[in-house]
Structure 1
Amino acid sequence: MRTWQKSIIFILALIAIPIIYFENQYFSHQQREAQIKTSQRAIFKAYRTHSENNYANFTVYTDSKPPGKIYYFVPKNQEGHTIDLLQQQQRIGERLYQKARRNKQKNITVYITYNGDNLHNDTYRLTPTGAVYSQVNHRFSTKFGKFADQLGHEAVYNLANQTKPVTFKALYKDAATLPMIKQTAIDQQLKKHHYTTQQLEELEKLDFPTDLNYHQFSFSQHGLTLHFTKNTLGIKHITLPLATIGPYLNPDYIAEDYTMPRAKKKSMAVALTFNTALNPDRTHQILKILNEKAVQATFFPTGEAAHQHPKVLRQLRVANQAIGNQSYAAEDSINTMSEPDLTTNITKTDRAIFQATGALPRFMRVTPDTTNKAIAIASQRSLISWSVDSEDWRTDIQAAEITKNVIERTTGGDVVLLRTAPETIKALPEIIDQLRANGYHLVTIPSLFKHRLAPFQQYAKAADPYQG
């Protein structure tokens, strides 16, 4: 080949190589763009399907950005109005978008949807969830994949006609709701902290809900969170798990596992309860029997006894025996007291028990014929009477008769009244053995009634229905 021919071929090659390169780049770009669009369509379809499966009534909003888009799948109530979940979704969408921009991602697309769960009828719990996708370059290929994701905060909605999360008024169930919220919150704090009596008083003064217009809260199926104004204890919020507070809230907004359990028609549990002045020798003998036989019982000391024998009461607490409030003195006639005097009496007893044990009693001993509503109002707690009287209050009774009274009168679910008298102590081992031989298991008052215990209600037997 002549020199000039070689020169022409060389020149043509120089011209062709860039053309072929740029042509390949062009078609590669076109192919890459087509692949990204195909991926975007597939992902959009997947998020639409996800939304339909979680809660089918929704609309889609598109927010176009200079280098990308944000798609919002927003739930609507049954009247066709979008709920305020959109506000939280938009915050998540902007965060994800800006995160991708800061990391210089290309072809940014954000999908914001929700996880939903139907609780009851029109009640749903909804949680915003989002993800940002972008162009991911590998060695010799380009893919469209997830860059980052984020989960929002769960809220509960009635989607029949509401657009806002559930109100406190909607969560309210009955008269037990407000005192149980306060009791549960205080008990939870007492388990976490060793408060002094003064700190306990400050805790009780926090701005707990007092009416249905309360708004300092947030609610999800994780629990009810109370938010507090500035206080000396530095408590900003308290979250009450639904496992403890759920039974006292409106069941329409609570998952079934956390609603008030129904009373069992037949129960093989029995609660032994002792009205006691905490005589050290007698109480130690009873506690020794209970420990040897692995039995938990419930003790109702007077406030006076708690002041006189705090170590004895503390031993009962350490042994996991349940403790209730009897009154300040054994001779106190709470059935005839005025409400102010009752409040003083109960508070004084509570303080004595708290100083000895670090905990507050959440139920109070009353007689079966108690009808004084002032007691319920002043105590703000469950009232516990009894269904089986051992009659060990009689001065002429012997251990054998005490045992006979308990065994012959007891059926499942009973609350047995005992005292710490010498004959009762003699009878106790046989009472435990015979009850067990008859198929009963012995439990505390809280275990017998579980979550059915509620303020203002009087209980004498586990088969008694919860009256809301």
Structure 2
Amino acid sequence: MKNKRKILITLALCALIIIYGSYFIKNQKKLAIEQFRTSEKQLIKEIKQEASENPSHSLVESTQDDSDMFLMVPTDSQATMIKDVQEDMAKLADSLIKNKDKATPTKTVLSAKVKNTQQNVTFYEYEKKQYDWSKEKKKWEESTQPLKEKTLINQLTGNKLTLGDIFINQQNLSKLSRNIQEELLAAAKDSKKDIEKILALPQLLATQTDFTYGDSKITIPFHQKNAYINTYTINYEQVGRFLNPDFISSHYLKETPIETVVPQSKVVALTFDDGPSDKTTPAILAILKKKKTPATFFMLGQQVEKFPDLVKTIADDGHELANHSYSHPKLTDLSIEDARQQINRTQAAIFKASGVLPEYVRPPYGSFNYETAVAIGLPLINWSVDSLDWKTKDSKKIDTEIKTTIGADSIILMHDIHQETADALEKLITDLQKDGYRFVTISDLLQTTPKPLTVYYSSTNRQDIPNQ
């Protein structure tokens, strides 16, 4: 009986201890939560107070997963938040929240500070001040960390600094892209093996804002997977004629030579499209050699891959090699990437066959717009005289069409895939030479340095392609 009573008493005491313990724990948790909330309110109050004392910034708040983010966004002279800085800070904040320890309550203050000011450019660098709640110490633990991200603002526009700001326009950037290709090919141990990767590097675009901008150079990253190079540095001393004096010291600037086109009487360029063809191109080459007449061949990449030896022969005979796309689609009907692939595949094929990287593109059907011209990145060559050999398939009509429409500095369109063209060629050259005409390549006809985003119809008829 006594033992039973002891057991009951023991059980009762245990129950009381459990009840009290449970109450104590709940009470402690409640106190801890109250203490956390009180401390949290005080911290937020202090953050907002500090923000209110900084008139050159506006405070933007966001809450996600028990984490508060406070963005101290700089403002302009009208107290308006600088849009591009605000957007970059918002992206950075999202990244920080995504990567944080979600088990720990956190308050983060992200601030943008002016690091330095270069010629018409303001540099904003970012700092993260983070407060993590320590349950053990029952207080917020503060840490400060500078971040690697930067935003560069063009003071003249109030927007992000772009490559187009520094290098004036897309035309200059397309030239630089070509220069980079040539430099990398010259330095490559096996250029024919590396050509595809070099051509696949992203183009330099006027809208691009992802780069490192310095006093004497600019470094451009290539984020493409398995890129041939990860970064490329452009030293201002090497590209002085492309630089904008609004942003670059006059020490590096160079005047662009003024090039003039001297009208030439009866100097014309024969051009052949859609080849090479093993059936007709050899005959055309034989006639050109016999008549000592240079020409320019706008080749299809798929034909180049079929007849690489013929491409090499064309180059060895002193003719100019140019690009006419890979499979002759209307480039304006394609996506920008597909249009670029049409050009790059052909560039690579011609380079592998001949060691020549073409300087010109003739878009199929003569069709282009600004977007495709940017994707191509090279001067466009159309024509002023169409032989209509593709339509008439008649050697006499081909001869008549050219002779009745030819001008002093014409670019003549023919195709080296038609037998009728080969049949008409020798007599045509002979008659035109007797009439005082001289034949040259496209490069010799143009006289001046050809420009990307420009279409040439003759040496005196050239048009810049506007961004509409």
TM-score bracket for this pair, using the shorter chain length: 0.5 to 0.7
**Contact 2:280–2:422 (CA<8 Å) still a contact in 1?**
yes
When structure 1 is superposed on structure 2, of 412-421 and 264-273 the one drifting more is 264-273
Structure 1 residues without counterparts, runs of 5 or longer: 1-167, 220-224
Out of 273, 298, 302, which is 1:275 matched to? 273
Alignment pair present for 1:416 and 2:420: no
Partner residue, 1:64: none
Partner residue, 2:190: 195
Alignment pair present for 1:402 and 2:398: yes
Q: Give 3-state SS (helix, strand or coil) of 1:323's partner.
A: strand
Q: Give 3-state SS (helix, strand or coil) of 1:271's partner.
A: strand
In the superposition, relative to structure 1, how do residues 288 and 396 fare at CA in structure 2: closer, same or farther (>3 Å)?
closer
Partner residue, 1:308: 306
Partner residue, 1:179: 174
**Contact 2:201–2:228 (CA<8 Å) still a contact in 1?**
no
Residue type matched to 2:174 in 1? Answer: P
**Contact 1:278–1:309 (CA<8 Å) still a contact in 2?**
yes
Out of 422, 437, 441, which is 1:440 matched to? 437
Shift of 1:192: 6.8
Residue type matched to 2:461 in 1? Answer: D
Partner residue, 1:354: 351
- Partners of 2:215 and 2:407 lie apart in 1 by 44
Q: Give 3-state SS (helix, strand or coil) of 1:435's partner.
A: helix
Q: Give 3-state SS (helix, strand or coil) of 1:364's partner.
A: coil
Partner residue, 2:297: 299
Partner residue, 1:102: none
- Partners of 1:371 and 1:169 lie apart in 2 by 22
- Partners of 2:215 and 2:294 lie apart in 1 by 37
- Partners of 1:453 and 1:424 lie apart in 2 by 28
- Partners of 2:201 and 2:330 lie apart in 1 by 32
Out of 363, 388, 396, which is 1:366 matched to? 363
In the superposition, relative to structure 1, how do residues 372 and 189 fare at CA in structure 2: closer, same or farther (>3 Å)?
same
- Partners of 1:216 and 1:206 lie apart in 2 by 20
Q: Give 3-state SS (helix, strand or coil) of 1:299's partner.
A: strand
In the superposition, relative to structure 1, how do residues 184 and 425 fare at CA in structure 2: closer, same or farther (>3 Å)?
same
Shift of 1:312: 0.6
Shift of 1:292: 2.0
Residue type matched to 2:374 in 1? Answer: I
Q: Deviations over 1:65-119 (max 9, x none)?
A: xxxxxxxxxxxxxxxxxxxxxxxxxxxxxxxxxxxxxxxxxxxxxxxxxxxxxxx
Residue type matched to 1:362 in 2? Answer: E
Structure 2 residues without counterparts, runs of 5 or longer: 1-162
Q: Give 3-state SS (helix, strand or coil) of 1:181's partner.
A: helix
In the superposition, relative to structure 1, how do residues 191 and 276 fare at CA in structure 2: closer, same or farther (>3 Å)?
farther
**Contact 2:455–2:464 (CA<8 Å) still a contact in 1?**
no
- Partners of 1:249 and 1:340 lie apart in 2 by 28
Q: Deviations over 1:227-264 (max 9, x none)?
A: 8999978999899999xx88867799445xx6241233
**Contact 1:368–1:460 (CA<8 Å) still a contact in 2?**
no
Partner residue, 1:340: 337
Residue type matched to 1:462 in 2? Answer: S
Partner residue, 2:383: 386
Partner residue, 1:321: 319
- Partners of 2:411 and 2:334 lie apart in 1 by 25
**Contact 1:303–1:348 (CA<8 Å) still a contact in 2?**
yes
- Partners of 1:292 and 1:317 lie apart in 2 by 16
- Partners of 1:197 and 1:177 lie apart in 2 by 26
When structure 1 is superposed on structure 2, of 267-276 and 309-318 the one drifting more is 267-276
In the superposition, relative to structure 1, how do residues 433 and 206 fare at CA in structure 2: closer, same or farther (>3 Å)?
same
Residue type matched to 2:339 in 1? Answer: L
Q: Give 3-state SS (helix, strand or coil) of 1:183's partner.
A: helix
- Partners of 1:319 and 1:419 lie apart in 2 by 18
Q: Give 3-state SS (helix, strand or coil) of 1:280's partner.
A: coil
- For 1:106-255, what aligned pairs fall within 5 Å after superposition? 172-187=167-182, 190=185, 195-204=190-199, 253-254=253-254
Q: Give 3-state SS (helix, strand or coil) of 1:442's partner.
A: strand
Shift of 1:425: 1.1
Residue type matched to 1:174 in 2? Answer: N
Q: Give 3-state SS (helix, strand or coil) of 2:170's partner.
A: coil
Shift of 1:329: 1.7
- For 1:64-103, what aligned pairs fall within 5 Å after superposition? none
The TM-score normalised by the length of structure 2 is 0.52
The TM-score normalised by the length of structure 1 is 0.52
**Contact 2:331–2:367 (CA<8 Å) still a contact in 1?**
no
**Contact 2:304–2:311 (CA<8 Å) still a contact in 1?**
yes
- Partners of 2:231 and 2:268 lie apart in 1 by 39
Q: Give 3-state SS (helix, strand or coil) of 2:262's partner.
A: coil
Q: Give 3-state SS (helix, strand or coil) of 2:464's partner.
A: coil
Root-mean-square deviation (CA, aligned residues, Å) is: 3.9
Residue type matched to 1:262 in 2? Answer: T
- Partners of 1:269 and 1:246 lie apart in 2 by 34
**Contact 1:199–1:233 (CA<8 Å) still a contact in 2?**
no
Q: Deviations over 1:123-168 (max 9, x none)?
A: xxxxxxxxxxxxxxxxxxxxxxxxxxxxxxxxxxxxxxxxxxxxx9
Shift of 1:276: 2.7
In the superposition, relative to structure 1, how do residues 462 and 206 fare at CA in structure 2: closer, same or farther (>3 Å)?
same
In the superposition, relative to structure 1, how do residues 215 and 264 fare at CA in structure 2: closer, same or farther (>3 Å)?
farther
Determine what percentage of the aligned residue pairs are the same residue: 24
Q: Give 3-state SS (helix, strand or coil) of 1:200's partner.
A: helix
Residue type matched to 2:309 in 1? Answer: K
Residue type matched to 1:181 in 2? Answer: L
In the superposition, relative to structure 1, how do residues 192 and 227 fare at CA in structure 2: closer, same or farther (>3 Å)?
same
In the superposition, relative to structure 1, how do residues 439 and 185 fare at CA in structure 2: closer, same or farther (>3 Å)?
farther
In the superposition, relative to structure 1, how do residues 348 and 240 fare at CA in structure 2: closer, same or farther (>3 Å)?
farther
Partner residue, 1:140: none
Shift of 1:380: 1.1
Shift of 1:273: 0.5
Q: Give 3-state SS (helix, strand or coil) of 2:374's partner.
A: helix
Shift of 1:208: 8.6
In the superposition, relative to structure 1, how do residues 317 and 266 fare at CA in structure 2: closer, same or farther (>3 Å)?
closer
- Partners of 1:337 and 1:428 lie apart in 2 by 35
- Partners of 1:183 and 1:380 lie apart in 2 by 8
- Partners of 1:239 and 1:447 lie apart in 2 by 31
